[in-house]
Amino acid sequence: MTARTALITGITGQDGSYLAELLLNKGYTVHGIVRRASTFTTSRIEHLYQDPHDPQARLFLHYGDLTDGSRVTGLLERVQPDEVYHLAAQSHVRVSFDEPLYTADTTGLGTTRLLEAIRTTGLACRFYQASSSEMFGASPPPQHEGTPFHPRSPYGVAKVYAYWITRNYREAYGLYAVNGILFNHESPRRGPTFVTRKVAMAAARIKAGLQDTLYLGNLDARRDWGYAAEYVEAMWLMLQQKEPVDYVIATGSSYSVRDFVECSFAHVGLDWREHVRFDERYLRPSEVDDLVGDASKAAHDLGWRPTVRAPELARLMTDAELDVLLRGDGAVAATLPAPAQALTVHGR
Ligand code: NDP
Ligand code: GDR
């Protein structure tokens, strides 16, 4: 098979970085769309960077924004991808209550802009839409591909729109366009304002004596948390099938935010009750209480199975934060107060 070309929107995000790694390892040429910002936003893909002048280079970045349809069309024409992975979105649920119109424009209409660009350019590429368990919202668990949607945030509503426009382009124009309905997936590359990373960072910093208190909102919410590095494999598999089919991707196990906090803090020998305080600013006007995905269809058709669940995730993410604090030649560690020095001695 000749080398394939992929276009990733949201390449600078958590999933984009793991997916770029995966595709480069599979021999793909990878193009990514990056938003212009006043500072660099490419820290998650820095380790993949190749000088574009190098004849061996297979990673290329282009400025672009989901709100600019003409740019998206121009990039598709230029890149001529075989596969498009559409990951870019305003992806924060709490923020979507503050910015509902922006969220609808990027997370919802952004998908139509891409699909319409594919349709009008006549490209025969395959399309992956990053759909979300937030679409299920208030529908009771376990949630599967046939569970009715009942979104509970402007983000969830925008994702439902994007889900249906993806299906519509598949049904109306015969595009190979699929929805991966992914439940929460985390990693050390998770954005720091999502709860798992926020907790892991705080546990490490409190252990290191750099912080004393962690403010959180609803500790009762339950999520089906998996490991992002495993979930991007499912995205790729969905674009390698004979027919375009939508799949739920999840671990099938659910833990509360409180469980996650307890695992993370206990891992570094802390009692979370001594450090976690409530702050109502982190509550949502309407919450998603309980998500547990049934990914048996993906296991059956794609052979995809997760191996990492929430307790292990909490430990690996907390370890990663400690490594950052204590990394390298000891220069950082030397600036930390006594408890952190003790961690190095104990071989963390
Ligand atoms: P992140 O928030 O880490 O990354 C989002 C990416 O989208 C970033 O690269 C961001 O760029 C880019 N982006 C945001 N707005 C625009 C815009 N207007 N134009 C161009 N690019 C933009 O998300 P994740 O990697 O966690 O998630 C990837 C996708 O999967 C998202 O669509 C998310 O909604 C969805 N999803 C995520 C799940 C999860 O648990 N992680 C579960 C289910 C679905 P920048 O770096 O400049 O901010
Ligand atoms: P979520 O993830 O909303 O599920 O969306 P997030 O980590 O933001 O919240 C998970 C749960 O934790 C509760 N919570 C807090 N959340 C945050 N962010 N900060 C806090 O301080 C805090 N305290 C408690 C929340 O109320 C919630 O119940 C993620 C995103 O990646 C979406 O893009 C994706 O589609 C879904 O996962 C699946």
C-alpha 60/C-alpha 52 separation (Å) is: 7
- 341's torsion region: left (phi>0), alpha (psi -120 to 50) or beta? alpha
Q: Is the CB of 223 under 6 A from ligand 2?
A: yes
Residue 21 is assigned to a structural domain of this protein: yes
Same domain, 175 and 212: no
Q: With beta carbons less than 8 A apart as the criterion, state whether 156 and 196 touch.
A: no
Give the total number of structural domains in the chain.
2
Same domain, 323 and 205: yes
Rounded to the nearest integer, the mean pLDDT of the chain is: 93
Same domain, 32 and 138: yes
Same domain, 30 and 134: yes
Q: What pLDDT is recorded for position 36?
A: 96
Same domain, 22 and 165: yes
Q: What pLDDT is recorded for position 327?
A: 78
Q: What pLDDT is recorded for position 346?
A: 25
Per cent of the chain over pLDDT 70 is: 94
- Nearest atom within ligand 2 for CA of residue 153: 3
Q: What pLDDT is recorded for position 347?
A: 25
Q: Is the peptide bond before 142 cis (omega within 30 degrees of 0)?
A: yes
Q: Is the CB of 16 under 6 A from ligand 1?
A: yes
CA–centroid distance, residue 95 to ligand 1 (Å): 13
Same domain, 277 and 171: no
- Whether residue 321 is predicted with pLDDT greater than 80 in this model: the reply is yes
- Whether residue 228 is predicted with pLDDT greater than 50 in this model: the reply is yes
Q: What pLDDT is recorded for position 326?
A: 85
Q: Which domain holds residue 203?
A: 195-222+255-289+310-345
Domain boundary among 157, 182, 207: 182
- Whether residue 336 is predicted with pLDDT greater than 90 in this model: the reply is no
Same domain, 68 and 12: yes
Closest ligand by atom to 102 CA: 1
- The residues assigned a catalytic role are 132, 134, 155
- Whether residue 106 is predicted with pLDDT greater than 70 in this model: the reply is yes
Same domain, 284 and 165: no
Residue 213 is assigned to a structural domain of this protein: yes
Flag the least confident range among 156-160, 316-320, 323-327, 334-338.
334-338
CA–centroid distance, residue 103 to ligand 1 (Å): 11
C-alpha dist (Å) from residue 82 to 61, 121, 187, 332: 17, 13, 28, 44
Residue 48 is assigned to a structural domain of this protein: yes
Average pLDDT for 226-236 = 98
| CATH code where residue 211 lies | 3.90.25.10
Q: With beta carbons less than 8 A apart as the criterion, state whether 177 and 115 touch.
A: yes
More confident residue, 326 or 88: 88
Same domain, 75 and 217: no
Q: To which H or E segment does residue 278 belong?
A: strand 276-278
Domain boundary among 130, 156, 182: 182
- Whether residue 4 is predicted with pLDDT greater than 90 in this model: the reply is yes
Q: With beta carbons less than 8 A apart as the criterion, state whether 91 and 16 touch.
A: no
Same domain, 204 and 73: no
- Whether residue 334 is predicted with pLDDT greater than 50 in this model: the reply is no
Q: What pLDDT is recorded for position 60?
A: 97
Q: What pLDDT is recorded for position 343?
A: 26
C-alpha 58/C-alpha 51 separation (Å) is: 9
Q: What pLDDT is recorded for position 174?
A: 98
Q: Is the CB of 10 under 6 A from ligand 1?
A: yes
C-alpha dist (Å) from residue 120 to 74, 117, 171, 217: 11, 5, 16, 45
Residue 285 is assigned to a structural domain of this protein: yes
C-alpha 325/C-alpha 265 separation (Å) is: 16
Strands 177-182 and 126-132, by their bridges, are parallel
Q: With beta carbons less than 8 A apart as the criterion, state whether 333 and 341 touch.
A: yes
Same domain, 207 and 131: no
Q: What pLDDT is recorded for position 50?
A: 86
C-alpha 254/C-alpha 250 separation (Å) is: 10
- Nearest atom within ligand 2 for CA of residue 284: 26
Residue 55 is assigned to a structural domain of this protein: yes
Q: pLDDT, tens digit, for every residue of 64-103?
A: 999 999 999 999 999 999 999 999 999 999 999 999 999 9
CA–centroid distance, residue 124 to ligand 2 (Å): 36
pTM, 2 dp: 0.95
- Whether residue 332 is predicted with pLDDT greater than 60 in this model: the reply is no
Domain boundary among 182, 209, 241: 182
Residue 79 is assigned to a structural domain of this protein: yes
Q: Is the CB of 217 under 6 A from ligand 2?
A: yes
Residue 61 is assigned to a structural domain of this protein: yes
Q: What pLDDT is recorded for position 250?
A: 98
Same domain, 164 and 21: yes
Residues 6+ apart with CB under 8 A from 290: 140, 141, 221, 222, 254
Of 7, 9, 11, 15, the one to substitute when testing ligand 1's pocket (max ligand atoms within 8 A of C-beta) is 15
| CATH code where residue 39 lies | 3.40.50.720
Residue 159 is assigned to a structural domain of this protein: yes
More confident residue, 10 or 50: 10
CA–centroid distance, residue 244 to ligand 2 (Å): 29
Please name which of 182, 108, 115 lies closest in space to residue 145, comparing C-alpha atoms. Answer: 182
Q: With beta carbons less than 8 A apart as the criterion, state whether 156 and 287 touch.
A: no
**Reported confidence tier of residue 329, pLDDT bands at 50, 70, 90:** very low
Tokens at 226, concatenated: 């998996």
